Amino acid sequence: MFDFSGTLWLKGRMKKIPVVYSEDFLTDYRTVDCENPERAWIIQSAVKEMAEFHIPELCSEADLLLCHTQSLVSSVERDGEVFSVAKRAAGGAIMAAEIALEQPSFALIRPPGHHAGRNFNGGFCFFNNMAIALYTLFSRGAIRNALIVDIDLHYGNGTEDIVQDDTRISFQNIHAFQREEFLADLETALKDAPSFDIVGCSAGFDTYIHDWGGLLFTDDYREIARMITSSNPRTFTILEGGYYISDLGKNVASYLKGVQEACL
Ligand SMILES: [Zn+2]
């Protein structure tokens, strides 16, 4: 079991973090082997002591059409099981963004979303959860602008495709070949964070030292979360990648610990 390593006194003061999660994310829908239900299960198990769980609804088709073409939506709809879970994942992202207007939150959702563009998808993604969450808030007049920080190993090409011409959104994709460079680039990306109405983090844990990226350590996710959450009181994080199952739970728990510390 992961050791949260705080003192009893500190643990007593730690606030539970709102984590959006549904057992629907344990569905073994048709996708690649590495993006499997065990990812959600192992994370849920590792964070349950520090989480206050919120169960999301499915997003509406109108929510999807804020960011995607009808033809893309229809193409996903052909597989009813995927369509349903992907709509709940987007609904989970919306819920996390809504919660973030009051307090920092985390969306433990799958399938991931940052490779889904307006009229294309791929890379284990079907709908762009982050973009749908932000555009839903825009459509309600809840926010005027937003900063997206993408810390996944892979470039958030789908997110870029959707938001690139929107002057209300700043999209910062962190990409580095060295750990120190990664953290320095994140610090730079967060420089203007206080001026935005909300900050959304697309969090991939495939940057982990034993995952595909071979870059970051467990404690780095704690520092990253602390940096992001400290940058603006309205922050939410959405799970993207992360495939090294053995340590995925403790890495997300480490991230949530950073969120907690920033909230103290
Ligand atoms: Zn990735």
Please give the distance, rounded to the nearest whole angstrom, from the Cα atom of residue 103 to the centre of ligand 1: 26
What CA–CA distance (Å, rounded) separates 218 from 196?
28
Q: Are 112 and 125 in contact (CB under 8 A)?
A: yes
Tell me what pLDDT residue 14 has.
75
Q: What is the pTM of this model?
A: 0.94
Please give the distance, rounded to the nearest whole angstrom, from the Cα atom of residue 240 to the centre of ligand 1: 7
Please give the distance, rounded to the nearest whole angstrom, from the Cα atom of residue 209 to the centre of ligand 1: 14
Name every residue whose Cβ is closer than 8 Å to that of residue 73 and which is 6 or more positions away in sequence: 61, 64, 65, 127
Position 243, amino acid: Y
Position 57, amino acid: E
Please give the distance, rounded to the nearest whole angstrom, from the Cα atom of residue 49 to the centre of ligand 1: 27
Please give the distance, rounded to the nearest whole angstrom, from the Cα atom of residue 153 to the centre of ligand 1: 5
Q: Which one-letter DSSP state was computed for residue 178? A: S
What CA–CA distance (Å, rounded) separates 167 from 110?
28
Phi-psi sector, 5: left (phi>0), alpha (psi -120 to 50), beta:
left
Please give the distance, rounded to the nearest whole angstrom, from the Cα atom of residue 242 to the centre of ligand 1: 7
Tell me what pLDDT residue 15 has.
87
What CA–CA distance (Å, rounded) separates 114 from 134?
13
Domain boundaries defined on the chain: 13-262
Please give the distance, rounded to the nearest whole angstrom, from the Cα atom of residue 102 to the centre of ligand 1: 29
Q: Are 151 and 203 in contact (CB under 8 A)?
A: yes
What are the average pLDDT values for consecutive 10-residue runs of the chain, which has 264 residues?
Answer: 44 80 97 96 97 98 98 98 98 98 98 98 96 98 98 98 98 96 98 98 98 97 98 98 98 98 91
Q: Determine the CATH number of domain 13-262.
A: 3.40.800.20
H-type alpha helices, 19-100: 37-47, 61-65, 70-77, 80-100
Q: Is the dihedral of CA 214, 39, 4, 90 positive or negative?
A: positive
What CA–CA distance (Å, rounded) separates 93 from 128?
9
Tell me what pLDDT residue 13 has.
59
What CA–CA distance (Å, rounded) separates 63 from 91?
9
Please give the distance, rounded to the nearest whole angstrom, from the Cα atom of residue 11 to the centre of ligand 1: 32
Nearest to 212 by CA among 241, 251, 189: 241
Nearest to 113 by CA among 236, 238, 256: 238
Q: Are 263 and 103 in contact (CB under 8 A)?
A: yes
Please give the distance, rounded to the nearest whole angstrom, from the Cα atom of residue 6 to the centre of ligand 1: 30
